[in-house]
A and B are shown apart, each in its own frame.
Chain A
Amino acid sequence: MKDVQDKSVSAWLLRINGHAVCVGASELSMLLEAPKTERVLAAPAHCREVMLLEANLYPVVDMSSLLKREPVDSNAIALIIYKEENETQASYGALRFDSIPERIMVTDDMQIDMDAIDSQLRKFVRAAFKYEDQSVGVLDLSEIFSLNNF
């Protein structure tokens, strides 16, 4: 039992377009309800807004467009910290999600096959696990905020 506890990591369980997904506890910097956002001209469909927060601008990704789904009516935004490959400095971005996240603990033995994740979502997920009968995808944040999607 002690061994399992040592290997557990803390994460935030979120819902994005109805999908259960998670980010590491240290990857979620802030949760915001209806922060100030602005539309950006000619920006890609999944990132048409920026969020203004404490004298900084953050791109706001709405994954419904990446998942080819209708947008969910929610004002909840998470300020995310992520690290791009070969970059030493962390980057910031904002992500729309459906509802209030839940703090959970994840252990190695919860891991499941990636096939359990929705095929559209799978591209943006780097691992999967089972939590209370839900298949949860671990978001690949550098992929979501990557220029490849723009």
Chain B
Amino acid sequence: MDDYLSGVMSVGGQKYALPLTEIDSIESSYQIKVIDDSPFLEVDDKGVAVYDLDENHNVLEDKRRLCVVIGDIALMADEFESRQLDKRHLRAVPTLVDTGVVAQLYFSTLDNEFIQILRMSSLPSYLAGEQRPYTTDS
């Protein structure tokens, strides 16, 4: 029970993990539509707002990215993989654990890898407040 299955997204050089069971589908950014500068995907006949966790990436021109659909939101990702994360390698930073959207900070001592584990309950409010859907250049 030291492992659990996660989806690991690479976004702008950072890695974010979330339980694989939370992920509804993976879509292509080719499918993104824009209304009033707000990008969205049509998934199962409903509109899903698209967000980007990379603060430096605010254009819609890159069509080579993925959209990880989680309920009513989709997160842009450069890469995605499912992975067994080893809980024995979880490292918490006490002062940061309870602050933002990040529930735990994962650091693998095996390969010097840093992964932030998203706290799913905080994600929608974070995206609605701090992080807006990215805008188009036009």
Contact = CB atoms under 8 A, between A and B. Distances in A.
A binds B: yes
Contacts of B91: 55-57
Contacts of B122: 42
Interface stretch (A16-24, A33-41, A115-123): A33-41
Contact of B14 (A41, A56, A58): A41
Given A42-B126, A50-B105, A57 B93 contact: yes
A47 interface: yes
6 contacts: A38-B14, A41-B102, A43-B96, A43-B100, A56-B91, A59-B96
B101 interface: yes
Interface in A77-102: 91, 93
Interface of B: 14, 16, 53, 91-96, 98-102, 105, 107, 109, 112, 114, 116, 118, 122, 126, 130
B114 to A, nearest CB: 5
Contacts of A52: 107, 112, 114
A91 B100 contact: no
Interface residues of A, number: 20
Contacts, number: 65
Contacts of B93: 40, 50, 57-59
Interface string A139-150: 000000101001
Given A41-B14, A150-B95, A55 B109 contact: yes
A47 B96 contact: yes
Which of A38, A56, A91 is packed against the most chain B CB atoms within 10 Å? A38
A91 to B, nearest CB: 7
B114 A147 contact: no
B114 A43 contact: no
B100 A42 contact: yes
Contacts of A47: 95-96, 99
B114 A41 contact: no
B95 A145 contact: yes
Contacts of B118: 41
